[in-house]
Amino acid sequence: MQHQRVLEEELKSVNLVQLINARSPLEPVGRCFRGNCCFHEDNDRSLYVYPERAQWRCFGQCDSGGDVVAFLMAADQISHGQAIRKLAVQYGLAPEQATADPVNTANSELIDDNSQTYLSGPGSFEFIRRRVERLKRVFDVDSLYAAERYDLIRRPTISYVDDRELTAGNLAYIGKLADAFRPSTFSMRTLHDNQEPRTVGILISLPTTIQAHAELESADSQVHIEDATRVYDGGTITWCEGEAIYKDLGTGTHYASTLLGCSSKGFCLVLVGDSLSPLWVWPREPKEIGGRDRPFPYRKSGESKVSFLSLESFFINNSLNGPVPEFFTDISGVRVAINVPESSSNRHADRMRLIREMDRGID
């Protein structure tokens, strides 16, 4: 199951009438609602909202329409990923952040409690029933063990999405970052079976004639071409020097590695194991949204076995192309500080040196 698909299914419960009514008052007309379109000067009530289909349509000057995400993208002039993230924050599906706006119900009597899942009591039987039905559209819920199914239904909704807004020169990745729901009871075998192949690299070109494509250069200098619909933004890049700490999820062993670069979304370019070239890897979740692992695959040179690692921490000593970044913004929207670790020059070698000096003094 892919995180963004699950979150989009959850957002189908958002009351579209309430959201649009907060920006442009609506009036019921039969089985739909009607009002002035807020995207152009309109005194003819050209905007129609169809709550049963969760769709809106303007039959006036702008001739536009779509779902709740399309409305927010047009209203706030933001990207697809930003719109989903903003809605998730507004309706309690993601941690609060500075860009979240409170719900403003200009005509509160228009709220349809029967279609507002999140106002009908999270934890209630009706809430759980509806959530299971939505999750079944994108995930085989019945194949899970009872404990896994309980964890899936009761845990907070996936609170981060992959951003479709692409910029040449930024880091980008092919395939969803969060492609599978993995409760703690999932085995490493299940993790391997659900892992979607992906490539992370610099977005070097965006050919768009006829069909949109993206060309990514990975850290081993290979160029990968993919439909732009499967490519997502990884943030701006800072070339730097530092250290990264990652964990082998199979053995629980931690390793320190050289950090060569990082992005504004927390992706890090690191030397992993005996790799001939560095790898771009993504960070684990911030603790504010659960601190769960976001595993990345790694195959040792000459071996067929795939290990799954998790980037747990990193710090930057200096930047090679500008100021040292003080924070990164996780794809969940959570801002994470990049701290300088406390350190000490005190070592065991100092004690041994003192012992040798004392021995020479005695002699």
Q: What is the pLDDT of residues 168-203, one digit of tens each?
A: 999 999 876 654 334 344 444 444 444 444 789 999
CB 244 within 8 Å of CB 314: yes
Q: What is the pLDDT of residues 29-87, one digit of tens each?
A: 888 999 999 888 888 899 999 988 888 999 888 888 888 888 888 888 887 777 777 77
Max CA-CA distance within the chain? 104
Could you count the other beta carbons within 10 Å of the beta carbon of residue 184? 9
The residue among 187 and 343 whose pLDDT is bigger is: 343
pLDDT of residue 44: 87
Highest-pLDDT range among 95-104, 132-141, 208-217, 272-281: 208-217
Q: How far apart are CA 305 and CA 217, in angstroms?
A: 25
Q: Which domains are seen in the chain, by residue range?
A: 3-154 (3.90.580.10), 171-337 (no CATH)
Return the percent helix, strand and coil in the chain, to nearest 5: 25, 25, 50
Rounded CA Rg of the chain: 25
Q: What is the pLDDT of residues 84-120, one digit of tens each?
A: 777 777 766 555 543 333 333 333 333 333 333 333 4
Flag whether pLDDT at 286 surpasses 70. yes
Flag whether pLDDT at 272 surpasses 80. yes
User: 263: which residues sit within 8 A by CB, 6+ positions away?
Assistant: 170, 171, 234, 235, 236, 237, 238, 328
Percent of the chain with pLDDT over 90: 27
pLDDT of residue 162: 63
pTM over 0.85: no
Q: How far apart are CA 33 and CA 17, in angstroms?
A: 8
User: 118: which residues sit within 8 A by CB, 6+ positions away?
Assistant: 13, 91, 92
